[in-house]
């Protein structure tokens, strides 16, 4: 079963909303770099929430056999990266995000702001395929 990078990015954003992360954005960086097609970024209020958001994404995607190629940041819990190759998830403690300003570094990317008011992003499940 495979998913497009955009479907995977939207699912990650949905899971961030579920765990009450703030300032969620999807950056479409596919035309700017070979690193990934999308960055999904959120802010959290404390290290407990950083861990909860990152664990939720890793566990829920694992249930549909989508596993990260690499993860980093579990020790300090200020910036956890989940690298799914085409989609790189950045779960930040708020102050750390402000310091690194990834959106400013990737200012030429198409940015989509994710809110829970518009409803959740499409759900990926084992019955969908692309």
Give me 66's structure tokens. 């989508």
Give me 74's structure tokens. 């579990």
What are residue 53's phi and psi, to 5 degrees? -65, -50
The secondary structure element, H or E, covering residue 67 is: none
- For residues 16 and 23, what is the distance between their CA atoms, to the nearest angstrom? 10
pLDDT score of 4 more than 70 = yes
pTM given for the model: 0.87
Scan for tokens 């899971």, then name that residue.
15
Q: Percent of the chain scored above 90 by pLDDT?
A: 85
- The whole-number average pLDDT for the span 111-121 is 67
> Given this model, what pLDDT does residue 3 score?
86
CATH 3.40.50.720 fits 5-113, yes or no: no
129 pLDDT band, cuts 50/70/90, is: very low
What confidence tens digit (pLDDT) does each residue in 62-84 have?
999 999 999 999 999 999 999 99
Contact assessment for residue 87 and residue 38, using Cβ atoms and an 8 Å cutoff = yes
- Three-class secondary structure of residue 57 per DSSP: helix
What confidence tens digit (pLDDT) does each residue in 30-67 have?
999 999 999 999 999 999 999 999 999 999 999 999 99
Scan for tokens 């956890």, then name that residue.
80
């Amino acid at each position: 079963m495979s998913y497009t990078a955009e479907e995977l990015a939207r699912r990650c954003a949905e899971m961030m909303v579920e765990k009450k992360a703030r300032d969620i954005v999807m950056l479409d960086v596919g035309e700017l770099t070979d690193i990934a097609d999308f960055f999904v970024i959120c802010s959290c209020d404390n290290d407990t929430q950083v861990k909860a958001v990152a664990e939720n994404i890793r566990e829920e995607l694992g249930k549909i056999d989508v596993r990260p190629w690499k993860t980093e940041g579990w020790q300090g819990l200020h910036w956890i990266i989940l690298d799914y190759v085409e989609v790189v998830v950045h779960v930040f403690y708020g102050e750390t995000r402000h310091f690194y300003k990834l959106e400013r570094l990737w200012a030429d990317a198409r940015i989509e702001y994710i809110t829970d008011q518009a409803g959740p992003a499409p759900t990926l499940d084992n019955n969908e395929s692309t």
